[in-house]
Structure 1
Amino acid sequence: MSGDFEEIYDAIVVGSGANGGVAAKELGERGLKVLVLEAGRTIDPDADLGHPVRDMTKRLYNLASRRQSYQSMHPGYWKANPDLFIDEQDNPYTTPPDRPFSWIRGRQVGGKSLTWGGITLRLSDYEFKAASRDGHEQDWPIAYADLVPYYSKLERFFQVRGDRDGLAQLPDGDYQPTIPLTPGELHLKQVVETRWPDRQLIASRGFGLPKPTAAQPWPPSSSQGSSLQAALETGNVTLQADAVVSHVIFDPTTRQATGVAYIDRLTKQQHQVSGRTVVLCASTIESVRILLHSTAKYQPHGWVDKSGLLGRFLMDHVSTATFFFIPGLPPPATPFPLSGCDSFFIPCFVNLKSQAEDFLRGYGIWGGVQRFDLPGIVRKVGAGSIGFAIAHGEVLPRYDNRVQLDAAVVDAWGIPVPHIECAWSDNEQRMLAHMHAQIDETIALAGGKPMKLTEMFRMPLVGNFVRKMEETMSFSAPPGYYIHEVGGARMGTTPTNSVVNDRNQCWDAPNLFVTDGACWPSSGWQSPTLTEMAITARACEFIATKLEQGGF
């Protein structure tokens, strides 16, 4: 084991994606010495971004060699460099044979922020206090008011675009001016709000399309183009790529975290680094995997999860996607942009007078009309506008949905891999049926009809693959597919009902923090990234204050 704790950092941040970047920025700007550990490689914008022909060649090779079977099931894989998604042969995981989980991952500096769609939505107390309303499981130990200042700070920093729509179920933020809806979306808005007066179709909230320059080649939604860049500019942050974290190290007497053990991705050499605090931002399942591998079951003097809940209550958003064609709506000469703010939302189908739901919690519909097309030579449909609607809803926290370690299978660095057990309950199945009915009615009222991509376009190279994907997703995407997994180290009020407290500290190891999606007690229906970053910023403010006062 090399690296004998030569330097003691104020904080070790595990992960360099959306949350790791925010953690490094918040701590570094307060003068703390921070080490960021990233399992993947350092990437170069010239080599890794903007090569569509090369990227398609890589995809075809990776599919043929079965290196990215799960990764390729997600639409984002077909827009980005496939090297921004993991090699599944080096990074295996296991599931029960009858319960697949599509774990979509990115291991490189910037993590999944490089392939993030850039939608930034706040949660509300409908989500934070949902259990008080319907009696399922437990509330968050924090409320919307606790995150408001951090939401606002992040929205200003990222220059998020959006409208102030005045919706209780989707709180407004501190936004830059939004991008107007397309003519097709305005048509859909009129249809929705006429048919259901208590619903609104609004402009989405988030990042616009990136406009790379020589000075700033990175997307602003990536940590390299925003938070991680700001962190490194403080001079207080050190970034260590190719560092595959194995586990957290604990003092045998105090039981506090003293550092992190990692394996060099290239040389396979083992290292240890020391820190006064450790902040896990590795992504939900990775952070849970690190915690599990840090327990006394696997490590001498390891951490003890007294709650018995570590790994439990894994969630993802339940989702379904529908493409549609509106023949009576003239298409634009050139498709409008599609991005986090160049799109629409019909937010939160819950607590609405027009809904007679037979399920708990809620969902929203994200979509676009006239935002994508293909050249006429590959179109099978005539003149008209093409759109999509993706519904994604809150999955109930359930004890049986969990992550464990599979000691019989190890990754390329000899670390036991996650065994993921997750399935939709009857509640999610009823929600899915409601989603389909609402989407189909909306499309019909707009004068359109649902169609598959393979019905609208000729796809000579990838048609069979897309057809298979459409069949798999025909009613519901499998767990993991939407890349919104949360839970596994949930936040709560006591050491018996949670893994971390309301400040994201692990019970009995108060200098070990979990701030990414792993800490969520329930999933909400909104895209989780902004809330994860707000939770991270709040926790890091607390860390900085405690260290200034003398530590934990």
Structure 2
Amino acid sequence: MSDDFSAEIYDAIVVGSGANGGVAAKELSERGLKVLVLEAGSAVDPQADLGHPVQDMAKRFYNLAISGRQSYQAMHPGYWKTNPDLFVDEKDNPYTTPPDRPFSWIRGRQVGGKSLTWGGITLRLSDYEFKAASRDGHEQDWPIEYADLAPYYSKLERFFQVRGDRDGLAQLPDGDYQPTIPLTPGELHLKQVVETKWPDRKLIASRGFGLNKSTRSAAWPSSSSQGSSLHVAIETGNVTLKSDAVVSHVIFDPDTHKATGVEYIDRTNKTTHRVFGRTIILCASTIESVRILLHSTARYRSGGLVDRSGMLGRFLMDHVSTSTFFFIPGLQPPAKPFALSGCDSFFIPCFVNLESQTEDFLRGYGIWGGVQRFDLPGIVRKVGKGSIGFAIAHGEVLPRFDNRIQLSEDVVDAWGIPVPHIECAWSDNEQRMLAHMHAQIDETIAVAGGKPMKLTEMFRIPLFSELVSKMEHTMSFSAPPGYYIHEVGGARMGTDPTNSVVNPHNQCWDAPNLFVTDGACWPSSGWQSPTLTEMAVTARACAFIAEEIGKGGF
């Protein structure tokens, strides 16, 4: 074992270099703190690894037909839009589930993490989500409220130059936006018929990043960590980035029980190393951060992390979701499809009575979609003149004690680290919500003059018809947990060490210099896309860390 960088004890060690790790590095380094960022995956070269569709398709054929290393990853639509190397090798990075409860863990291990593949939708949560338990009595509220995150939301939206409209919706707070991208003619048609039939319902332009491709002057997408926060952090001169560092566990002082550093294994040569810091911030992604915490407990090492609440690994959530493609005959298609991105799309939020629940399920959901934003050449179309659209509903999953992450007793990854064993299933509440989703989507398509159709009904897809049919079958009623890549929970935030893993400042109760700021800390999932809120939670925690270190703390 060697102790890399041991000449310096960093002010902060940030585990993960994706959306949250980039924000943590930026917020701390701009305040003058010395930061080490550890990334389990390799560095990415934008010229070699981004923007090569023919090469990417060849890799997919190899991975599916020969290597068999990306079976779960290939079932996700995002896999088919970018370099498959930005998704994990499943043989090196296995995990386990009960045979009857599948979980589709979609992952990216490289500098930038999943920020290189995410859709770029940025929605704020409201107090309807932060304080949902006070309204319906299920589980517990967040220990923070919307006002605590509002200034960090605004700071991030200005930094990322998020696009959107100020729509004045209580269930989806407005932000500090750049001008939005207009809706397509097909979406304006949908908006008109939806808001006429349901006056209490709004169809709005989505909020987020515009379509951004690599160019010579801007090699990284602006929605990626490298194209935004991580780049700014490195430019301060206060950040050291170490890739190929697979973190095994956090190291603790046996006397004080404070965290002193982390142990990692080099991805390529599999040697073990230790690094040290005054604070440790886990931003590795929800399940990875919980995996690191579990492997840091007293069960696995003497003097390890104490989990007095018994909540570590519990209350795993993902958004419950379903998707539908549709065709509107007679609605003139554009000469070429409009762009599809975080802000090039629409939302219909939020399907629930917020004040007095009248449906037969708790919490709520929204519908994301687009019309006239994708098509295939006429030679492969089976349908005639008209416009193609999609609608994806995703909703809040209730936190449940039985949905959990443990460490496998007998399966390890390529570096000898126990892998997560994931147990997660939809409850009756989610099944009732799904039924409502399907009914609302079908009715919305009908009032627009359209009809639901499968991709294989609209297009001839000879090479991929079997795979596309399998994907459509997977999504026919609902996607399995994990598929929507919005997993949160497992190290929830709370008001007391008996009901949570971390406190309102994201500190582990029994190791106050160990912070968990990614989705793992969420007490409930909300229905909105989580990335902006995760980054706001991270920025808030880092402001607290910098203040405490400035006062001589930790």
**TM-score interval w.r.t. the shorter chain?**
over 0.9
Aligned-residue identity in percent = 85
Q: How does 1:93-492 map to 2 (within 5 A)?
A: 93-351=95-353, 356-492=358-494
TM-score (norm. length: structure 2): 0.99
**Conservation of the 8 A alpha-carbon contact between 2:128 and 2:354:** no
2:310 partner amino acid: G
Mapped to 1, the partners of 2:499 and 2:312 lie a distance apart of 10
Mean Cα displacement is larger for which, 60-69 or 380-389?
A: 60-69
Equivalent in the alignment of 2:15: 14
Equivalent in the alignment of 1:2: 2
Q: Secondary structure at the match of 1:248?
A: strand
Q: How does 1:66-81 map to 2 (within 5 A)?
A: 66-81=68-83
Q: Secondary structure at the match of 1:484?
A: coil
Mapped to 2, the partners of 1:449 and 1:390 lie a distance apart of 15
Q: Secondary structure at the match of 1:277?
A: strand
Q: Secondary structure at the match of 1:113?
A: helix
Mean Cα displacement is larger for which, 62-71 or 471-480?
A: 62-71
- Cα displacement (A) at 1:472: 1.4
- Cα displacement (A) at 1:300: 2.0
State the aligned residue count.
Answer: 552
2:209 partner amino acid: F
Mapped to 1, the partners of 2:445 and 2:131 lie a distance apart of 33
Mapped to 2, the partners of 1:354 and 1:411 lie a distance apart of 47
Mapped to 1, the partners of 2:409 and 2:521 lie a distance apart of 24
**Conservation of the 8 A alpha-carbon contact between 1:199 and 1:352:** no
Mapped to 2, the partners of 1:102 and 1:291 lie a distance apart of 21
**Conservation of the 8 A alpha-carbon contact between 2:346 and 2:369:** yes
1:55 equivalent to 2:62? Answer no
TM-score (norm. length: structure 1): 0.99
Mean Cα displacement is larger for which, 419-428 or 54-63?
A: 54-63
Mapped to 1, the partners of 2:185 and 2:355 lie a distance apart of 28
Mean Cα displacement is larger for which, 272-281 or 452-461?
A: 452-461
Q: CA 1:354–1:474 in 2, change beyond 3 Å: closer, same or farther?
A: farther
**Conservation of the 8 A alpha-carbon contact between 1:198 and 1:353:** no
- Cα displacement (A) at 1:354: 12
Structure 1 residues 495-541: Cα deviation after superposition (integer angstroms, max 9, x where no partner): 00000000000001000000000000000000000000000000000
1:27 partner amino acid: L
**Conservation of the 8 A alpha-carbon contact between 1:198 and 1:352:** no
| Runs of 5+ consecutive residues of structure 1 not aligned to the other structure | none
Mapped to 1, the partners of 2:38 and 2:206 lie a distance apart of 33
Mapped to 2, the partners of 1:347 and 1:240 lie a distance apart of 41
Mapped to 1, the partners of 2:130 and 2:265 lie a distance apart of 37
**Conservation of the 8 A alpha-carbon contact between 1:124 and 1:144:** yes
**Conservation of the 8 A alpha-carbon contact between 2:46 and 2:214:** no
Q: Secondary structure at the match of 1:537?
A: helix
Mean Cα displacement is larger for which, 118-127 or 209-218?
A: 209-218
1:94 partner amino acid: T
1:9 partner amino acid: Y
Mapped to 2, the partners of 1:59 and 1:288 lie a distance apart of 30
**Conservation of the 8 A alpha-carbon contact between 2:308 and 2:498:** yes
Please identify runs of 4+ aligned residues in structure 1 that moved more than 4 A: 352-356
Mapped to 1, the partners of 2:25 and 2:230 lie a distance apart of 7
Mapped to 1, the partners of 2:78 and 2:87 lie a distance apart of 10
**Conservation of the 8 A alpha-carbon contact between 1:277 and 1:511:** yes
Give 2:535's match in structure 1, choosing from 533, 536, 550: 533
Q: Secondary structure at the match of 1:276?
A: strand
Mapped to 2, the partners of 1:277 and 1:354 lie a distance apart of 43
Q: How does 1:484-503 map to 2 (within 5 A)?
A: 484-503=486-505
- Cα displacement (A) at 1:473: 1.1
Give 1:90's match in structure 2, choosing from 89, 92, 99: 92
Mapped to 2, the partners of 1:39 and 1:474 lie a distance apart of 35
**Conservation of the 8 A alpha-carbon contact between 1:196 and 1:354:** no
Q: Secondary structure at the match of 2:48?
A: helix
**Conservation of the 8 A alpha-carbon contact between 1:41 and 1:108:** yes
Mapped to 2, the partners of 1:300 and 1:82 lie a distance apart of 40
1:2 partner amino acid: S
**Conservation of the 8 A alpha-carbon contact between 2:294 and 2:312:** yes
Q: Secondary structure at the match of 1:311?
A: coil
- Cα displacement (A) at 1:130: 0.0
Q: Secondary structure at the match of 1:13?
A: strand
2:22 partner amino acid: G
Mapped to 2, the partners of 1:355 and 1:447 lie a distance apart of 30
- Cα displacement (A) at 1:211: 4.1
Mapped to 2, the partners of 1:126 and 1:257 lie a distance apart of 35
**Conservation of the 8 A alpha-carbon contact between 2:120 and 2:341:** yes
Mapped to 1, the partners of 2:217 and 2:336 lie a distance apart of 29
